[in-house]
Amino acid sequence: MPNILDAPPAAIAAQLADLSSALDVAIPARQLDRNLMVATWNLRAFGGLTDRWVATGDDSPKRDLAGLRAIGEIVARFDVIALQEVRGNLRALRHLLAWLNRDADTWGMLLTDVTRGSSGNNERMAFLYDTRRVKPSGLACELVIPPERDDIEEGAFGRQFARTPYACSFLGAGDTFILVTAHVLYGQSPTDRVGELQALASWLADWASHVNAYHHNLIALGDFNIDRRHDPLYQAFTSTGLTVPDALHEVPRTIFGSHLDSYYDQIAWFTDPTSRIPNLSLIPTGAAGSFDFVGHVHPTLTRQQLSWRLSDHLPLWVEFAH
């Protein structure tokens, strides 16, 4: 039975080489003492794995070794990446870590337990990070909204998050920063998402501005299920000052449709110098984007089929200066 650490068949090796070349062009190289690469990726139903290089019609799940190797090639371009839709079954994640650590034990993982309940969808939040570039600096927590919060519209948020956001602090590029990842409830209609987005934005603003905060370098990243820029969902997300970098406004987020059809995934932080909320001390270089992997691996599959091998979402990234 093939293994993720085996040499792939010639056809798959050629596809992975093509993917690597495309990554070289699209994403800045990681440079020691020069930059910090932060990313987020919703990996569709990232749980089980079929031990074949190419899954057949009868295999379940459809995620195969070729798809997972492609995911690994992409993840390895970043210093720390937040993953959403990691499922209770950790098989694919453990094989991904085995491949990332194939030459040396350098990649680490932080993740939550699954969120119970139907709306939790058996999902975890996770961070993967290259220990040569960043290290956890001590803080890890899940975000919980106290019932007495009076800054959230009454009735908009009558429960906790469907999938609890996860925050971890890291030391990298000479600074400490906190990444907060979330996968906002999709719901039956866009209005079902406003409460979670407003609650998250308010919580982050309060945390960042509190004098006893662990650290003020807060970056929110994940799948916020925002439909379009400037729609009510985007307004809720940015209502307390979170700002999306300009370079991410016009890039696609999914492998389906145009970039105007979804604004789901975001990376954002506070930038207003007149606000009581401290700004980021990390310095964005201005380089940011998504990466479109369609056509590089499993090129004969439909996009729907490809979404189960890799994902329906594209990875989103931002570069910071060291």
How many CB atoms are closer than 10 A to CB 191?
A: 11
pLDDT band at 207, cuts 50/70/90?
confident
More confident residue, 196 or 168: 168
How far is residue 209 CA from its own chain's centroid?
24
Q: Are 318 and 278 in contact (CB under 8 A)?
A: no
Across the chain, mean pLDDT equals 90
Question: pTM for the complete prediction?
Answer: 0.93
pLDDT band at 63, cuts 50/70/90?
very high
Give the tokens for residue 91.
């098989």
Domain ranges of the chain: 10-321
d(Cα 233, Cα 253) in Å, to the nearest integer? 16
d(Cα 148, Cα 216) in Å, to the nearest integer? 24
Phi, psi of 165, rounded to the nearest 5 degrees? -60, 150
The residues, ordered by sequence, that sit 6+ positions from 298 with a Cβ below 8 Å of its Cβ are: 15, 54, 66, 67, 305, 306, 309, 310
Q: In this predicted model, what pLDDT tens digit does every residue of 248-304 receive, in sequence order? A: 999 999 999 766 668 999 999 998 877 877 778 899 999 999 999 999 999 999 999
User: What integer is the mean pLDDT of 229-247?
Assistant: 92
d(Cα 82, Cα 217) in Å, to the nearest integer? 16
Residue 98: pLDDT over 90: yes
Q: Which amino acid belongs to residue 162?
A: A
Q: Are 14 and 297 in contact (CB under 8 A)?
A: no
Residue 152: pLDDT over 60: no
Share of the chain above pLDDT 70, in %: 90
CATH of segment(s) 10-321: 3.60.10.10
User: What integer is the mean pLDDT of 73-81?
Assistant: 98
Strand partners, 130: 107
DSSP 8-class letter at 313: B
User: What integer is the mean pLDDT of 182-190?
Assistant: 82
Per DSSP (E only), the strands in the chain are 35-46, 80-87, 107-111, 123-130, 134-142, 166-172, 175-183, 218-223, 242-243, 265-270, 283-290, 316-321
228 half-sphere exposure, CB direction, 13 A CA radius: 7
Which pLDDT belongs to residue 156?
A: 46
Q: In this predicted model, what pLDDT tens digit does every residue of 29-48 receive, in sequence order? A: 999 889 999 999 999 999 99
Give the tokens for residue 289.
């984007």
Residue 233: pLDDT over 50: yes
Strand partners, 196: none
User: What integer is the mean pLDDT of 227-246?
Assistant: 91
Strand partners, 126: 83, 111
